[in-house]
């Protein structure tokens, strides 16, 4: 007899809102396919006007936005950049590529975001910048971090790759740092396949940002009629995406409220459904009061041990459900560990070992989500309750 396998529940599934291909066709019909055209302007103006970013430049990726921020810092040999260890490689690579010395900070014991006390520990006279990562779209403790930035005249870069539509109290993430990088990779809440955005909130960097963005030329100013010649005026690279990417992104931005509300609801459903696990000693996400308005980017559990997490991953995989772990600490990575001198970053290592992300995406149905919740609970109640 054939038994039907339950449908596979992936970890993530990119969501098309409906207008993406229509807008791409529009971009093509306008005969302007390279970057910095009508759809690019529409997206950038949206971020400046609706989100209050000083200047917004679309990029080919979140990585590219971080690289632009690093270029704008004009780092000198020996300059130091403080960043969390529990993050994606791009947060580090962008600054390493400019010759910075990386100083890795540990996460908080309560949540994966960096601990502000770690910034205080790592500041030296050579510190130039601090990069904060709003993990899972949950705000870092900016109220504790900003005074350190001001006191030591540092540059604050928000790696807001996961944090579109999230807030710290009433302040929108991405509007607080001198710079903020967003990602529109297909795994993020708002997607363009690959894509990103650099927000430049300190006006003194705005003009140079545009030059670096356009291969070191004053092309953007030239087309606005602000300069008589189109010339090579600084270093730069090709950071801007094509109009097709911007057109796709515009369709997604139009649906941002729908996407946000659905993800928030799914996040809350997990939080409520999995609440009984807290009594067993597992941890559900800790959302500080200042970060309550978050975008439901990731729902994670902190298992009691590495072994337990691996067993749970396997158990869910056997039920056709894909749950995944996340970052491995950068300070301990094959690339960096021989260059790292400093204490063990225990919290970062702990999240690497014990954190598990559950499926969360627009098209995850209520029924599918119940299945995930029931199997996670089932793992603990029927087989593994020690
Ligand atoms: C996704 C992500 C990036 C990189 O963004 P891309 O668009 O994939 O280049 C950087 N930092 C963090 C924290 C991310 O989640």
- The answer to whether 59 and 35 are in contact (CB under 8 A) is no
Q: What is the pLDDT of residue 7?
A: 75
Asked if 136 and 110 touch (Cβ cutoff 8 Å), the reply is: no
The backbone region for 39, taken as left when phi is positive above 0, alpha when psi lies in -120 to 50, beta otherwise, is alpha
- Cα gap 24→249, rounded to integer Å: 10
Q: Are strands 101-105 and 167-168 parallel, antiparallel or unpaired?
A: unpaired
- Answer yes or no: is the C-beta of 91 below 6 A from any ligand 1 atom: yes
pLDDT in tens, 103-114: 999 999 999 999
Please give the helix or strand (H or E) that residue 95 lies within, else none: helix 89-96
Integer Cα distance of 197 and 200 in angstroms: 10
Q: Is 88 in the pocket of ligand 1 (CB under 6 A)?
A: yes
Q: Ligand 1: which of 68, 83, 97, 161 to mutate, judged by most atoms within 8 Å of the beta carbon?
A: 161
- Check residue 386 and give its pLDDT: 47
Q: Is the CB of 291 under 6 A from ligand 1?
A: no
In this predicted structure, what is the pLDDT of residue 178?
Answer: 98
Spell out the per-residue pLDDT of the chain, length 386, in tens.
455 556 799 999 999 999 999 999 999 999 889 999 999 999 999 999 999 999 999 999 999 999 999 999 999 999 999 999 999 999 999 999 999 999 999 999 999 999 999 999 999 999 999 999 999 999 999 999 999 999 999 999 999 999 999 999 999 999 999 999 999 999 999 999 999 999 999 999 999 999 999 999 999 899 889 999 999 999 999 999 999 999 999 999 999 999 999 999 999 999 999 999 999 999 999 999 999 999 999 999 999 999 999 999 999 999 999 999 999 999 999 999 999 999 999 999 999 999 999 999 999 999 999 999 999 999 998 765 54
Residue nearest to atom 6 of ligand 1 (CA): 62
Please identify, by atom number, the ligand 1 atom nearest to the C-alpha of residue 65: 9
C-beta of 63 in contact with ligand 1 (< 6 A): yes
Phi, psi dihedrals of residue 179, rounded to the nearest 5°? -135, 155
**Structural domains in the chain, sorted by start:** 20-254 (3.40.640.10), 256-383 (3.90.1150.10)
Q: What is the number of the ligand 1 atom nearest to the C-alpha of 66?
A: 10
CA dihedral 297, 303, 306, 312 (to 10 degrees): -80
Ligand 1 atom with the smallest distance to the CA of 133 is 13
Q: Examine the residue annotation and report whether 229 is marked as an active-site residue of this protein.
A: no
Phi-psi region of 195 (alpha: psi -120 to 50; beta: other; left: phi over 0): left
Beta-strand pair 101-105/55-59: unpaired
Q: Nearest residue CA, atom 14 of ligand 1?
A: 161
Q: pLDDT tens digit string along 139-167?
A: 999 999 999 999 999 999 999 999 999 99
Token pair for 106: 């540990």
Is the CB of residue 69 below 6 angstroms from any atom belonging to ligand 1? Answer: no
Q: How far apart, in whole angstroms, are the C-alpha atoms of residue 331 and residue 344? A: 9
Closest ligand 1 atom number to CA of residue 187: 1
Residue 2 token pair: 């054939």
Judged on CB neighbours under 10 Å (0-12, 13-18, 19+), 3 is exposed
- Which residues lie across from 58 on neighbouring strands? 197
Q: Tell me what pLDDT residue 223 has.
A: 87
Question: Hey, which bits of 19-105 come out as E strands?
Answer: 55-59, 80-84, 101-105
**199 CA distance to ligand 1 centroid (A)?**
15
pTM: 0.96
């Amino acid at each position: 007899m054939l038994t039907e396998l339950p449908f596979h529940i992936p970890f993530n599934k990119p969501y098309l809102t409906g207008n993406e291909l229509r807008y791409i066709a529009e971009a093509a019909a306008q005969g302007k396919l390279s970057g910095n055209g009508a759809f690019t302007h529409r997206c950038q103006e949206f971020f400046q006007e609706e989100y209050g970013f000083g200047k917004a430049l679309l990029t080919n990726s979140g990585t590219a936005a971080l690289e632009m921020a690093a270029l704008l810092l004009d780092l000198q040999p020996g300059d130091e950049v403080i960043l969390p260890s529990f993050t994606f490689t791009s947060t580090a690579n962008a600054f390493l590529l400019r010759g910075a010395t990386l100083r890795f900070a540990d996460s908080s014991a309560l949540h994966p975001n960096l601990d502000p006390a770690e910034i205080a520990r790592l500041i030296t006279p050579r510190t130039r910048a601090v990069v904060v990562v709003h993990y899972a779209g949950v705000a870092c403790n900016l109220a504790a971090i900003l005074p350190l930035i001001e006191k030591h005249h540092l540059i604050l870069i928000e790696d807001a790759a996961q944090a579109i539509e999230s807030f710290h109290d009433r302040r929108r993430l991405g509007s607080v740092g001198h710079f903020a990088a967003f990602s529109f990779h297909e795994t993020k809440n708002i997607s363009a396949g690959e894509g990103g955005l650099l927000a430049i909130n300190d006006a003194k960097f705005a003009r140079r940002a545009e030059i670096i963005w356009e291969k070191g030329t004053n092309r953007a100013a030239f087309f606005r009629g602000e300069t008589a010649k189109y010339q090579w005026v600084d270093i730069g690279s090709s950071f801007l995406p094509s109009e097709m990417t911007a057109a796709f992104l515009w369709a997604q931005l139009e649906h941002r409220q729908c996407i946000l509300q659905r993800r928030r609801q799914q996040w809350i459903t997990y939080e409520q459904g999995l609440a009984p696990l807290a009594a067993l000693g597992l941890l559900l996400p800790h959302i500080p009061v200042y970060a309550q308005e978050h975008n439901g980017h990731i729902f994670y559990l902190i298992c009691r041990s590495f072994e337990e997490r691996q067993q749970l991953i396997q158990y869910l995989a056997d039920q056709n459900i894909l749950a995944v772990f996340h970052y491995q600490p950068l300070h301990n990575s094959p690339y960096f560990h021989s260059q790292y001198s400093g204490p063990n970053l225990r919290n970062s290592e702990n999240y690497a070992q014990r954190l598990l992300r559950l499926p969360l995406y627009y098209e995850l149905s209520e029924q599918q989500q119940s299945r995930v919740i029931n199997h996670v609970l089932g793992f603990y109640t029927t087989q593994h309750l020690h």
